[in-house]
Every structure is written in C-alpha cells, then in structure tokens.
Structure 1
C-alpha cells in the first residue's frame, strides 16, 4: 500500500467510519478485501477527498464497495442520491449502473462535487449523472406533484442533513418502486445511538443524535418497508419498499 493510500485509510479511521472495535481489524478488511478491488477512479477520488478539510463526510471505501455490489445485485438503472460531497458514493453508483443508467444527484454545495467531477469524467460515467445544486426537499415535492416519477426509482441513497431524514422518507417512499431500495447512511451515528446522556460527544454528534434515533424508530415501525440495518461504515439502513 502506498504512502498516500495509507494516509487515506488513516483518514477513514480517524473519521470513525467504522464501528469495529479494533482499528487493526478494520484496516485488515480494507487492505485485504477493499483496496485490492477498488477501481482506480474510486481510489483516486478517495485520496483527493482525504486531503479535504471535511473528509469525515465521505463514504468509507468498504461502504462504497458494498453499494457498488448491491446496485449490481438489484440490477438498478434509475437511482437518486441526496448528499453528494465530493462524489465517492456517487462514483461507486455510476460505475455499477449500465451505460444508460441515470442518477439524480442533489447537494447544496456544487464546489465539493466539482472537486471530484474531473475524476468522474475521466472514468467515463459523468453522462449518467444529473447534478442539482440546492436543497433536495423542493425538488422531491415538485417530482411528487408532477406525478411522473412515482415508483420510478430502483435505489435511493441518503447521506445528507440528518434532521431532514424523516422528511426525506415521507417523500421517497412514494418515489422508489415497490421492491426497490432506500439506503439511509449514518444510522448508527458514531455509536452515539447507545451513548448515555452524559457521554462526552462532539457537538455536531450530540445535536443530530436525536434525529437519527427518531429515524431509526420510525423505519422500524413503517409497515410499507422491510429493513436491514448494517454496521458498515457508520451504519446504513436498507429499506425495501413492499407496499
């Protein structure tokens, strides 16, 4: 493993992107199963993102690998991503989709997206991406109002403002097809979901904790979906729409 790649891996560990108790075990997973199979474009984007001051926001390499395989398994073609950052998970998705696959990608910060865009373009998958800068909720409301997009998405990935996850779910459940998947990222929230009230949490972790707890409770009680919460990255909950 190169020095730069090692640095990128360390950034992920420092960013608490895995809930494994042993950093050595997580590093073993990365070095044995993830990095050797990581597409060159994803490796380049991961290394570029590792040097960004907000690198804690990126999707971890193991989660990127998981999403890429998941999308192939369900034969996804029409997808959506809310929260893009520099585009690591977006690239994982674009590489998994067929040549005529499409991703509606939304983020409030185009500058971060454009940091990864040259790498996405070099990978030959930029034509699959429809990037929209700005809040996602108004776009979702317009799509629902139009009525043309109901039940049209195979997969939707949400890694954005945790205080709006419930609001996203209320809309996305009608936009994903029956049998399709919605993936909510960070649903174990640095382990804070089981932290005692007086635990010394970072300010932003403490602020969003209750929103994540609210989401987890709501998803578990939603009869329209089947769920599976996985300790990959910072926790991802998959929701399969059944009605």
Structure 2
C-alpha cells in the first residue's frame, strides 16, 4: 500500500516538473470530446450566403406564440415577413391557374412554441399551397410546382454516427420506408439517394427535403438502443431468404412448409 502511494506521488511530481496537468475538469473533458467532432450539423448548407441564412432561420426559429383569426394568406405572410425579416413573393401565374386566392380569409390558428417552417406549412395548407426558397427569397406557389422543383441536399451522417446510427445504408433504407411523399425511383438518377463516405446526398423536392430533415433529426434524438434494434432487424431480414406470395407479400423460407403455405395463401 505504501509502495503504491509512493509511486502515485512520484507520478504527480513528475507531471508537475514537466508542466503537465494532473487532472481535467468535467467541462474540459466535454470540450475535448466536442473538438474531436466539430462538424455536427445535420445539413451541410450550400448555395449563397442569403440562402444559408434563410434555411437556418426556417429550421431553427421557434415562434413562441401566434394567433390568426379569419386572416387572409397575404396578411399572415406579411406578419411573418415583418417579424422575421424574410422576403416573400408569390407565384402569381401558378396560383391563378389553380384558382388559389390569397385574399380569402381562411387562416385560423392559435399555436405556441412552433418551428417557423412548420408554421408556414400550416398557414399554406388551407390554400393547397406550398413554399420554396431560392437565393434567400421565399416563394409561395402551388403544391404541384413545389413538387416539380428538385434540389440536392447533403446530410452529414457523422452527427448521427455519434448517436449510434453508424450504418449509413440502414438510414437509407429507413428513408425509403418512412418518407411516403418522396419519389424513390432507382432507374431515375435525379431522384435517388446516394451514399458518399459519411454523407447522404438526396435529390428531392423542397417539401420532401423538409420531411427528411425532420426524420433524421428524430433519429438523432432517438436512444442508441433504437439504432441497435434497427441494425439487428436489418441483419436478421438479410439472413432470411424471402419469396413473394400470391399477393406480393414476402414470406421467409426458413419457416415450416405448413406455415409458409398459410402465409402464401393469405
């Protein structure tokens, strides 16, 4: 016991002689871990500085309280433009073709602590409209026009790896399953999602990109146990060779002949 104490004392004296720290505080350890992974943003913003500013404002701004009573769409959008310094324009031609009147008083909302992007979606829903952004300007247009305009967004998977989602291909499969409004067409390269190192490169419409961002953010906030369960389930499904039944349902061949026949006949 005395020998261990002497060894410890000698180690402390040696560190003091060399000017090395003998201990680290908790906040110093946290900062050290943070510095090892400085790039933890979920989206790698691209485009002009104005576009980056607008994207971050839409994603990160929380509206504490808002209430609209029988307001028109134009009145509601003017309130957002004035309070959050956003330039808003209207796609007059597309709105007129679908007989969308922004002067109709159809906005009735009373919300608290809501993200600005979500608030915009709710305001436009009664008018069957959507919004897109380009070069720092927000445009109100029809849903068909918004779906037709594609953009490519790079998602930083390293921020998800720290939360346990290390298999980027698994995240890709989850996107295929849980983003119903997306168009995943393997034969069309413009609408595919690809993997490059620790990034997902997705080309979809802006409304779908907003859904993908919220989904990935949910994964990022999910416990690590969920990521482990998802990986185990993916490996199990990969091992089980499956064959489609009469209705197109996949049936594992590893089951007994009787169970396979029952599932096949469903």
TM-score by length of 2: 0.23
Relative CO higher for 1 or 2, CA cutoff 8 Å, sep ≥ 6? 1
Structure whose CA Rg is larger: 2
What TM-score comes out, normalization by structure 1 length?
0.24
Bigger share in strand: 2
